[in-house]
């Protein structure tokens, strides 16, 4: 999941980069939380806990290796 909060009322000088990040998340079907309500929904979902549980005992290096070696 991706949690990316911004102030929607403030112009963002890096808006193009933010859109690219969101486009990549959509392309790889990564759930996105852009505000507290969606973040609360993601975190309270039992599937989120299941995914976190898979990686709880892994080192950051192992998580990255698993991610890098996945089949897309």
The CATH number for 64's domain is 3.40.50.1380
Model confidence pTM above 0.75:
no
Q: Which candidate, 10, 38, 40, places its Cα nearest to that of 25?
A: 38
Q: What percent of the chain has pLDDT over 90?
A: 32
**Which stretch of 27-36, 48-57, 59-68 has the lowest confidence by average pLDDT?**
48-57
At residue 58 the predicted structure's pLDDT band, cuts being 50, 70 and 90, is confident
The number of domains in the chain is 1
DSSP H helices in 1-72: 15-27, 36-44, 46-55, 60-68
Q: What is the pLDDT of residue 60?
A: 84
Which range marks the domain in which residue 40 is found? 2-68
At residue 40 the predicted structure's pLDDT band, cuts being 50, 70 and 90, is very high
Burial of 48 (0-12, 13-18, 19+ CB in 10 A): middle
Q: What is the mean pLDDT of residues 9-18?
A: 87
Pairing state between β 2-3 and 32-33: parallel
């Amino acid at each position: 999941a991706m949690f990316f909060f911004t102030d929607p009322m403030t112009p963002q000088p890096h808006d193009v980069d933010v859109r690219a990040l969101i486009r990549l998340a959509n392309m790889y079907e990564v759930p996105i939380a852009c505000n507290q309500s969606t973040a609360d929904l993601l975190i309270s979902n039992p599937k989120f806990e299941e995914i976190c549980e898979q990686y709880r005992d892994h080192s950051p290096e192992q998580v990255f290796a698993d991610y890098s070696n996945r089949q897309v």
